[in-house]
Amino acid sequence: MLQAGQLVMLVSPKGKRYFRVLDPEDTLHTHDGKLDLADVLNRGFGATVNTHLGRPYSILLPTLYDLIKGIKRHTQIMYPKDIGYALMRLGIGPGKRVIEAGSGSGGMTMALAWSVGDQGCVFSYDRREEFSELCSKNLEWAGLASRVEWFNRDIKEGFLQTDVDALFLDVRTPWDYLEQAAAAMSPGAPIGFLLPTTNQVQDLLMALEEAPFGDVEVLEILLRKYKVNGERFRPDDRMVAHTGFLIFARKNGE
Amino acid sequence: MLQAGQLVMLVSPKGKRYFRVLDPEDTLHTHDGKLDLADVLNRGFGATVNTHLGRPYSILLPTLYDLIKGIKRHTQIMYPKDIGYALMRLGIGPGKRVIEAGSGSGGMTMALAWSVGDQGCVFSYDRREEFSELCSKNLEWAGLASRVEWFNRDIKEGFLQTDVDALFLDVRTPWDYLEQAAAAMSPGAPIGFLLPTTNQVQDLLMALEEAPFGDVEVLEILLRKYKVNGERFRPDDRMVAHTGFLIFARKNGE
Amino acid sequence: MLQAGQLVMLVSPKGKRYFRVLDPEDTLHTHDGKLDLADVLNRGFGATVNTHLGRPYSILLPTLYDLIKGIKRHTQIMYPKDIGYALMRLGIGPGKRVIEAGSGSGGMTMALAWSVGDQGCVFSYDRREEFSELCSKNLEWAGLASRVEWFNRDIKEGFLQTDVDALFLDVRTPWDYLEQAAAAMSPGAPIGFLLPTTNQVQDLLMALEEAPFGDVEVLEILLRKYKVNGERFRPDDRMVAHTGFLIFARKNGE
Amino acid sequence: MLQAGQLVMLVSPKGKRYFRVLDPEDTLHTHDGKLDLADVLNRGFGATVNTHLGRPYSILLPTLYDLIKGIKRHTQIMYPKDIGYALMRLGIGPGKRVIEAGSGSGGMTMALAWSVGDQGCVFSYDRREEFSELCSKNLEWAGLASRVEWFNRDIKEGFLQTDVDALFLDVRTPWDYLEQAAAAMSPGAPIGFLLPTTNQVQDLLMALEEAPFGDVEVLEILLRKYKVNGERFRPDDRMVAHTGFLIFARKNGE
């Protein structure tokens, strides 16, 4: 079932995750010993394969969640808790055409590309060349690059698309680009923002009042994990306290 | 651009939402006056249409979030905050085949059907006939029914599919159906659960230890909204404190 | 054990709370029937007394928590979750001399008066006469008025005390009164603030940088209640999402 | 103003805290150089004193919050967020007589002793001798030991006091000691518990139904800190996710 060139996730007995694009000549070196990728290829998803020291590794098909956790990053990436909610609010799904500005390391890009399917398209903008490159490599690795077009340009000059179904503006001063965003979007289409500080949210809210957007909502999402123990069930001791504020709005009609 | 039979969302000046399947003979009665759907059909998405009292209503294409908020329900439905995260953890995306047990009013069913696209398929089980019907009507309404197959049977007797990519088990005593679930799933595939009480989570965790599942995680998601006011920015006074605990695991390999 | 003039809390079978200053001539009218306060006086704390319809009411000595929940209010009062923490951070305890500005309805005043004991003193400032009066009536009712001195004046003109052990500044623009606060405080003494919006917190933090205060901390406290059911244990459906941000600092030494 | 034998808190330029009982012969060794305690004694609270390398240290009177943060501990101590709230719910204040079982390292003991003043009394029980000793040393250090009586005995055999105003039962299986607690408490008096797991809370709730207690409440408190930066205001990246569930009840009347 598996083929050379496919991305697999290998999980150690202790839960450590390794990602590999299958090359039958290649070997994975782990703390538990060596693993021949040729063996992995012969076994298939869901199967177990042993290292030369006899430790069993699971061969898994990565979910979107796994992919996002596994990407190479230069900066903090968006968290799954925020991505999952944003996809719903932005109406992302098979066949949609969506712009993302501020690709970063490509966590959100990957989620968008995963969700729009082969019929959809993601237009990803980042002024910083090193990010466009990193992001594009990450998408290549996940096998999703064909669904993304990269634009290494300053969005102050506008976006090259029109009538997109949704736009996600993940930049430091989004209030500077609201006109450009509106010009690229279909009337009534949703827009999303992620901002770390309250000062930025305040500035954005005031700018949105003057811009052709309505139906504004601001929120934050907290995720608390629990210890996996049915006899002593309780939350973890510590948690992430803040990633950012999510802001959603819709472009006004004509 | 719009066609008879299409689902539109009409938003009042105060933000109230109405959903209608377009019938040019039909009229929407609102607190702001009457609205001819023929006018809506002629205007198109993103446009504005006036009631007979001159109040402007926006014509919008509903996002997945809007659809879930808009469905007819008999029971509490899953919240978008939980659905968005579950979709990611379960690896739902275009082309996936997924089982859902405990369809309820169809909130999660709608999200699954939206995400798997025309190439994917949702197999939705509910023992209670009135729920299968309601759920199926809601999917019809959203134009997503062609992606769902309904099964009105007791899952104690097993699922009719094998090798599905993911399974979501939203029932009161999920520990009673773990073997049946495992039998239907592809090795390594993810499974998800939603449970309101800690007693249930404890029972499930203990049952999972004996069942062919690993990589268990338990968590809860809190969403806090903020007042949309850049000059007096602060959280809302009240929020939802609990919907349920989310539990994820993966079927073991062979 | 009970005496005329004492404050008692009477709790109905359903948990409804009534507060009364004991007057043996007086009668309490409830949904469960009439209750003669003479009977209450004869029974004592912890006892039960029946209404004329035979419904049992508990006679309880109110805790500080009960008193705060029970006061007459014109405005939102501080929540126990915030008060309890502030008392600790401000080092309030028996014998302390503390200033409060912005008495409001007297929730915090009551907590301060309770904690400083007969050897301590609370100096409570509010520019608005109706609040000083309400607050003073509430303290009278709780039997704590002898520990409080009221000042109905504009704190822009300064406080009348010096070398106080702590100061709580619960006003809308605290940054306007930092010099006055510092002049009244003992070196090294703690100061606290409660502010609802992030804009206010930002303004205060910037003002504190220029003022003779250090060791600044900002935080918020969330309290989530659970359903009292050991067999179906889970959080309540809804909770208070925001009361205010708490800010603490210390006056610099010389 | 300062005297030999008094406890002072010395705060470094970077905010590090040192506690010392003043002995004019003693020297404090810090990363910033040496500090003669004789100098500290001569300067007084709120003043600044220099190390032999010229770094300024503030001399502060510790608040209850500082004391609790500063105690020597063998186990996790209660957090100020939980202690502050519990003090209010238990009606602790000057002159109260209160029992604590499960002294641990003495965090709660210190808070109770601080709050009851010289007219009140804390009766602190711990079966484990090493904890009674540690706890008693910590109270000595804080100058509060005269308000506490220590009992190194198994509470299964009952408490030695009667008619106490409040009781705090911080043990692993509190349901084993409800009768003993009730026997020691004044009718109507409040009782508090702190438990880390939901399994324990469930067991306690079921036991309380059979015991002479009513008015039960369960809750948890979350505290989120913010970065002290008015121009980039935002929550800290991480926070404490769980300390324990707080349970409160009241002893029934007669």
Q: Where are the alpha helices (DSSP H) in B90-150?
A: 107-116, 129-141
CATH code: domain B7-60 is 3.10.330.20
* Better-scored residue on pLDDT, B206 or C105: B206
What is the pLDDT at residue A1? 66
**Contact call for D235 and A242, based on CB within 8 A:** yes
| D126 among annotated binding-site residues | yes
What is the pLDDT at residue A212? 94
Q: How far apart are CA D42 and CA D44, in angstroms?
A: 6
Mean pLDDT (whole number) for A219-228: 98
Radius of gyration of chain A from Cα atoms? 21
Q: How far apart are CA A119 and CA A108, in angstroms?
A: 18
pLDDT 10s digits, D96-119? 999 999 988 889 999 999 999 999
Residue D186 Cα to chain centre, angstroms: 23
Give the burial class of C221: count Cβ atoms within 10 A of its Cβ; 0-12 exposed, 13-18 middle, 19 or more buried: buried
Concatenate the DSSP letters of all residues of D31-89 into one string: TTEEEEHHHHHHH-TT-EEE-TT--EEEEEPPPHHHHHHHS--SSPPPPHHHHHHHHHH
At residue A45, φ and ψ (nearest 5 deg) are -60, 140
Nearest to A134 by CA among A106, A168, A170: A106
Confidence of residue C191 (pLDDT cuts 50, 70, 90): very high
Mean pLDDT (whole number) for A109-120: 97
Residue ranges, comma separated, of all CATH 3.40.50.150 domains in chain C are 65-251
> Could you tell me the two tokens for B33?
């006056």
Mean pLDDT (whole number) for D31-55: 92
Cα of B238 to nearest chain C Cα, Å: 4
Q: Is the pLDDT of residue C162 over 80?
A: yes
Mean pLDDT (whole number) for D4-23: 90
Q: Which CATH class is domain C65-251?
A: alpha beta
* Better-scored residue on pLDDT, A231 or D69: A231
First to last CA, chain D: 52
Residues in chain D closer than 8 A to A231 (CB atoms): 199
Q: A106-110, B39-43, D231-235: which has the highest mean pLDDT?
A: D231-235
For residue A94, the chain B residue with the least C-alpha distance is B117
Residues in Cβ contact with C150 at an 8 Å cutoff, skipping those fewer than 6 apart = C103, C124, C126, C132, C135, C136
pLDDT 10s digits, D147-188? 999 999 999 999 999 999 999 999 999 999 999 999 999 999
Per DSSP, B197 falls in state S
Map C97-156 to HEC letters: EEEEECCCCCHHHHHHHHHHCCCCEEEEECCCHHHHHHHHHHHHHHCCHHHEEEECCCHH
Mean pLDDT (whole number) for C70-97: 92
Buried b or exposed e, range A8-34, using 16+ CB within 10 angstroms: bbbbbeeeeeebbebeeeeebeeebee
Residue ranges, comma separated, of all CATH 3.40.50.150 domains in chain A are 68-251
Q: How far apart are CA C165 and CA C163, in angstroms?
A: 6
Cα of C198 to nearest chain A Cα, Å: 7
**Contact call for A223 and B225, based on CB within 8 A:** no
Q: Is the pLDDT of residue D1 over 70?
A: no
**Contact call for B253 and A118, based on CB within 8 A:** no
Per the CB < 8 A criterion, the answer to whether A102 and A177 are in contact is no
What is the pLDDT at residue C44? 85
Cα of D226 to nearest chain A Cα, Å: 10
pLDDT along chain B (254 residues), means of 10: 88 89 92 93 89 92 91 84 97 97 90 97 93 90 94 95 97 97 95 98 98 95 98 98 97 82
B219 touches chain C (CB under 8 A): no
Residues in chain D closer than 8 A to B245 (CB atoms): none
At residue D13, φ and ψ (nearest 5 deg) are -55, -25
DSSP 3-state percent helix, strand, coil across chain B (nearest 5): 30, 30, 40
Mean pLDDT (whole number) for D48-73: 91
Where would I find the beta strands (DSSP E) of A102-173?
A: 121-125, 148-151, 166-169
Cα of C225 to nearest chain B Cα, Å: 9
Residue D95 Cα to chain centre, angstroms: 18
Give the burial class of D122: count Cβ atoms within 10 A of its Cβ; 0-12 exposed, 13-18 middle, 19 or more buried: buried
Residues in chain A closer than 8 A to B186 (CB atoms): 45-46
For residue D201, the chain C residue with the least C-alpha distance is C230
What is the pLDDT at residue C65? 93
Residue ranges, comma separated, of all CATH 3.10.330.20 domains in chain D are 7-60
The percentage of chain A sitting over the pLDDT mark of 70, rounded to a whole number, equals 99
How many Cα atoms within 13 Å fall on the side-chain side of residue A78? 33
Mean pLDDT (whole number) for D216-227: 98
Cα of C32 to nearest chain D Cα, Å: 19
Query: How far, in Å, are A174, A245, C202, D238 from residue A200 at the CA level?
Result: 9, 10, 12, 20
Interface test with B, best of A60, A118, A144 (most B CBs within 10 A): A60
What is the pLDDT at residue B1? 66
Per the CB < 8 A criterion, the answer to whether D79 and D32 are in contact is no
Name the 3-class secondary structure at D142: coil
What is the pLDDT at residue B179? 97
Pick the CATH number of A68-251 from 3.40.50.150, 3.30.420.10, 3.40.190.10, 3.40.720.10: 3.40.50.150
Q: Which of A114-128, B40-54, D212-226 has the lowest mean pLDDT?
A: B40-54
Interface test with A, best of B49, B209, B217, B228 (most A CBs within 10 A): B228
Q: Where are the alpha helices (DSSP H) in chain B?
A: 37-43, 64-70, 80-89, 107-116, 129-141, 178-184, 198-210
Q: Is the pLDDT of residue D34 over 70?
A: yes
Nearest to A168 by CA among A195, A141, A145, A139: A195
Confidence of residue C212 (pLDDT cuts 50, 70, 90): very high
Name the 3-class secondary structure at C5: coil
Mean pLDDT (whole number) for C227-254: 95
B196 touches chain A (CB under 8 A): no
Q: Is the pLDDT of residue D191 over 80?
A: yes
* Residue that the structure tokens 């993911």 belong to: B166
Residue type, C93: G
What is the pLDDT at residue D97? 98
- Look over chain A and give the mean of its residue pLDDT values, rounded to a whole number: 94
Residue type, A39: D
Report helix angle B80-89 to B107-116, nearest 10.
Answer: 40
B196 touches chain C (CB under 8 A): yes
- Look over chain D and give the mean of its residue pLDDT values, rounded to a whole number: 94
Q: How far apart are CA D194 and CA D200, in angstroms?
A: 10
> Could you tell me the two tokens for B80?
């978008």
Residue type, B172: R
**Contact call for D59 and C188, based on CB within 8 A:** yes
Report the 10 Å Cβ neighbour count for A207: 17
Q: Is the pLDDT of residue D206 over 70?
A: yes
Among the partner residues A202, A217, A227, nearest to B230 by beta-carbon distance = A202
